[in-house]
Amino acid sequence: MQIPRPQAVGDQRVAAQLRSILFSEPLLGAAEVRPRGYGKVIFASLLGWAGPIVARRATEPLPPTILYLAVTSADIRLFSKPPFADPFEIGRWKKGSYRASLDGRRLTLEVARLGRVTVTAGTSARPVFDLVMQGSA
């Protein structure tokens, strides 16, 4: 018997991948986001041997990969998605334990352990960003 689950807002492809990881909690929203400096990392890959020098610490404190942002009923979670691997969790923060600010397509989070983190996404992530803003302190 299949348990009915509410439709998650945001990117349905990301939600389908994260449901296999978050099978015990209801997923309210999911979005594919990129860390601040990700464009510099992509550009640096075209520079050959000088690329690692240019892209060093471009996305700190986050890894230089695509990220998945998931919102559950209890917390928000950030996952890293390397190109040829499954997503893995970077961190989770309970609602009310983080601060968030939204500026267009850019979401800035102040979270424990990572500090200030800025991520950007397309227009489909706006409902997910709104859920993150509702849970912030």
Token pair in block for residue 119: 């991520």
Domain count across the chain: 1
Q: Does 108 fall in a domain?
A: yes
pLDDT of residue 128: 94
Q: How many CB atoms lie within 10 A of CB 94?
A: 11
At residue 102's C-alpha, the angle toward residues 5 and 76, to 5°, is 35
pLDDT of residue 3: 65
Q: Does 82 fall in a domain?
A: yes
Q: Does 78 fall in a domain?
A: yes
Q: Where in the sequence is the domain holding 109, given as residue range(s)?
A: 9-135
Is this model's pTM higher than 0.85 or not? yes
**CA separation for the pair 46, 52 (Å, rounded):** 10
Token pair in block for residue 8: 């998650």
Q: Does 20 fall in a domain?
A: yes
pLDDT of residue 79: 96
Q: Does 4 fall in a domain?
A: no
Mean pLDDT in runs of 10 for the chain (137 residues)?
75 91 88 92 86 84 93 94 92 94 93 93 91 91
The residue type of 62 is L
Burial class of residue 87 in the structure, from the number of CB atoms within 10 Å of its CB (0-12 exposed, 13-18 middle, 19+ buried):
buried
**SS3 call for 133:** helix
CATH of the domain at 16: 2.30.29.30
Q: Does 2 fall in a domain?
A: no
What are residue 32's DSSP bridge partners?
Answer: 68
Strands 27-35 and 9-10: parallel
CB distance 129 to 121 below 8 Å: yes
Token pair in block for residue 68: 């998945």
